[in-house]
Amino acid sequence: MPQARPFRQVDVFSKVPFMGNPLAVVLDANGLDDAQMQAIARWTGLSETTFVLTPRDPAADYRVRIFSPEMEFPFAGHPTLGTAHALLDAGMQPKGARIVQECGVGLVQIERSADGVLAFQAPPCTTRELAPALLPLLQAALGGGAAACGTVVEMGIRWLCVPLASAADCLAVHADIAALTALLAAARADGLALYGPHDAGGPADYEVRALLSEHGALVEDPVTGSANACIAQLLAGAGYRARQGTCLQRDGRVAVSFRAGHAWIGGACLTVIAGTILA
């Protein structure tokens, strides 16, 4: 028998409604099985839907499972921030100074600034350089754009991170879906994360785009916490700000900082729907 479960839909990485990346959050998913969670995620049609559960680790404030319409992810960035925001919005009181999320990659630390902006500490990652033999395929995937290198960064999800000469070059990419599909398979990556620097005085320090191949169709993610976290591993040093979603008429803003060798990925979140879901 379905029961009414508290539900939020959150806009992540934006202070302006409908300009970030939406996330659906089922705030009490205890009792739902894998098939039910996957069905709900498929029904919402969003890039991710999260399901909050009682934690198994006593250090955690909650446990979360993250589903796309097709599969479960052990970790993803915008669902991490959006879930924490939804729980705080619903009245959750963290056990300590930081929010601690339990998920498929373990415990993830989340901080809340005085103005309410959230940031997560990027999980540990591994990196491997794109094989030189795949560079022609990368250039074909970029629609003929120039790229001299790429690095696969894995932190539960694997992004092939590719630096471009400028933000304008990043925005100008018209990906070839056949070549992109072949590239991601050959590189053993889940998506392609492009980034290029803005000129001084621009809207951000970097422009970011996240491109995926889903069932042979090109999909661009509006604002991607995990992709930005992977890029941050390659840009470690001074903090910076990234913009993402421009080509989708979004205006996602990501703040990256580095403390004690760890990257922190932050952004504003807004609740746009609050109610219940029968599940």
Question: Model confidence over 91-148: pLDDT tens digits?
Answer: 999 999 999 999 999 999 999 998 889 999 999 999 999 999 999 999 999 998 788 8
100-138: buried (b, 16+ CB within 10 Å) or exposed (e) per residue? bbbbbbebbbbbbeeeebbbbbbbebeeeebeeebeebb
Which pLDDT does position 146 carry in this prediction?
A: 84
In a domain, residue 258? The reply is: no
In a domain, residue 260? The reply is: no
In a domain, residue 259? The reply is: no
Kindly give the interhelix angle for 77-89 and 225-234, rounded to the nearest 10 degrees. Answer: 130
Which pLDDT does position 108 carry in this prediction?
A: 98
Asked whether residue 167 carries a pLDDT value surpassing 80, the answer given is yes
Which pLDDT does position 116 carry in this prediction?
A: 85
Q: Tell me, yes or no, whether 146 and 247 share the same domain.
A: yes
Q: Tell me, yes or no, whether 16 and 32 share the same domain.
A: yes
Q: Give the pLDDT confidence of 51-66 residue by residue, as tens digits.
A: 999 999 999 999 999 9
Average pLDDT, the chain: 97
Which pLDDT does position 114 carry in this prediction?
A: 85
Which pLDDT does position 102 carry in this prediction?
A: 98
Confidence of residue 186 (pLDDT cuts 50, 70, 90): very high
Asked whether residue 237 carries a pLDDT value surpassing 90, the answer given is no
Tell whether pTM > 0.75.
yes
Asked whether residue 192 carries a pLDDT value surpassing 90, the answer given is yes
CB neighbours of residue 272 within 10 Å: 13
Q: What is the CATH number of the domain that holds 154?
A: 3.10.310.10
Confidence of residue 21 (pLDDT cuts 50, 70, 90): very high
Q: Tell me, yes or no, whether 117 and 130 share the same domain.
A: no
Which pLDDT does position 48 carry in this prediction?
A: 97
Q: Tell me, yes or no, whether 137 and 106 share the same domain.
A: no
Give the total number of structural domains in the chain: 2
* Tokens of residue 209, six digits: 């785009």
Which pLDDT does position 135 carry in this prediction?
A: 97
Which pLDDT does position 144 carry in this prediction?
A: 87
Which pLDDT does position 165 carry in this prediction?
A: 97
Confidence of residue 222 (pLDDT cuts 50, 70, 90): very high
Asked whether residue 241 carries a pLDDT value surpassing 90, the answer given is yes
Q: Tell me, yes or no, whether 21 and 105 share the same domain.
A: yes
Domain of residue 157: give its range: 126-252
Which pLDDT does position 178 carry in this prediction?
A: 97
Which pLDDT does position 113 carry in this prediction?
A: 93
Closest CA to 170 of 196, 190, 206: 196
- CB-CB contact of 18 with 248 (8 Å): no
From the candidates 48, 102, 207, 220, give the one annotated as an active-site residue: 48
Which pLDDT does position 1 carry in this prediction?
A: 82
Q: Tell me, yes or no, whether 110 and 196 share the same domain.
A: no
Mean pLDDT calculated for residue range 37-57:
97
Active site residue 111: no
